[in-house]
């Protein structure tokens, strides 16, 4: 299993970093989580599910609480187990992962979903994000990075494989170029500090790096991000990136 994935890269999504390894990374950032992160593994290949379970079982702060072989079963298991993270494939029999994503968010609203798939189709990426997925990782990543990605998403970050993030940014750029007129409704007013934080979020910095850049605490950064999302009526950091680009707060070259 450990060799079934390819090289590791850190995602270039907003505030996303896939780096470091295991519980040492959690210790370095002062993670005080008392309970392990409860994970539901969903994939139509039993051997792949088993491999993930073996890998994640080595992490003290992660607990695989269940598994499912398709999207329909995943919804039922999510309703029963209420996992923190659902690690799910995109294309599966009976019911695919993207379709199941919306239903899982209904029966387990607090669950965060990471798509772990071989599909590098842009349409799958966009549909997964629309359906509520917080992460989209290709199975080419190393198994060592799966646990780190789970922790990052559990901490409120998003995770996207670099190649997919590049496609996403290209599409955002095209959207902006196709839109000549600006919105007539004035954008909600952000403070100067919130604008600074938003710019750094949109460039891919995580909370820790933003805190160092602005000489403020990580908790203060988290508060700023929460206020930004509330003011802009957005639901995720990824949507904040789109907003920053559309409003030309972040300039794309």
What digits encode the pLDDT tens for the residues 126-164? Answer: 888 888 888 888 888 877 788 889 999 998 888 887 667
| Long-range contact pairs involving 174-177 (C-beta distance under 8 Å, separation at least 24) | 175/246, 176/245, 176/246, 176/248, 176/252
**pLDDT recorded at residue 13:** 39
**pLDDT recorded at residue 12:** 38
Split at pLDDT 50, 70, 90, the class of 101 is very high
pLDDT of 218 strictly over 50: yes
pTM above 0.85, yes or no: no
Q: Which of 38-47, 55-64, 157-166 has the lowest mean pLDDT?
A: 157-166
> Taking all residues of the chain, what is their mean pLDDT, rounded to a whole number?
78
Domains present along the chain, CATH in parentheses: 22-165 (3.40.50.2300), 179-246 (1.10.10.10)
pLDDT of 85 strictly over 80: yes
Give the CA distances from residue 205 to residues 200, 212, 213, 250, in Å, rounded to whole numbers and listed in that order: 6, 10, 10, 13
Split at pLDDT 50, 70, 90, the class of 175 is low
Q: Which of 42-46, 168-172, 226-230 has the lowest mean pLDDT?
A: 168-172
Split at pLDDT 50, 70, 90, the class of 34 is low
**pLDDT recorded at residue 64:** 96
pLDDT of 186 strictly over 80: no
**pLDDT recorded at residue 67:** 95
Distance CA 196, CA 167 (A): 25
Split at pLDDT 50, 70, 90, the class of 29 is very low
Distance CA 63, CA 73 (A): 19
pLDDT of 11 strictly over 70: no
**pLDDT recorded at residue 26:** 44
**pLDDT recorded at residue 169:** 62
- Residue with the bigger pLDDT between 143 and 52: it is 52
């Amino acid at each position: 299993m450990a060799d079934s994935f390819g090289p590791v890269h850190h995602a270039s999504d907003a505030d996303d970093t896939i780096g470091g390894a295991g519980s040492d990374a959690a210790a370095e950032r002062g993670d005080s989580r008392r309970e392990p992160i409860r994970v539901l593994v969903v994939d139509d290949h039993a051997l792949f599910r088993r491999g993930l379970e073996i890998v994640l079982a080595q992490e003290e702060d992660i607990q695989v609480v269940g598994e499912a072989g398709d999207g329909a079963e995943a919804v039922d298991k999510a309703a029963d187990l209420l996992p923190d993270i659902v690690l799910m494939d995109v294309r599966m029999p009976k019911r695919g992962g993207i379709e199941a994503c919306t239903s899982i968010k209904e029966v387990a609203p607090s669950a965060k979903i990471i798509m772990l798939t071989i599909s590098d189709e842009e349409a799958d990426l966009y549909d997964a994000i629309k359906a509520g997925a917080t992460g989209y990782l290709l199975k080419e990543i190393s198994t060592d990075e799966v646990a780190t990605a789970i922790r990052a998403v559990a901490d409120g970050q998003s995770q996207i494989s670099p190649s997919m993030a590049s496609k996403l940014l290209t599409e955002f750029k095209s959207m902006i170029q196709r839109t000549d007129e600006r919105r007539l409704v004035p954008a909600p007013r952000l403070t100067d500090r919130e604008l600074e934080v938003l710019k750094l979020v949109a460039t891919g910095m995580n909370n820790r790096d933003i805190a160092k850049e602005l000489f403020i605490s990580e908790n203060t950064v988290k508060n700023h991000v929460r206020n930004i999302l509330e003011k802009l009526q957005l639901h995720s950091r990824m949507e904040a990136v789109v907003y920053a680009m559309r409003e030309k707060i972040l300039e794309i070259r």
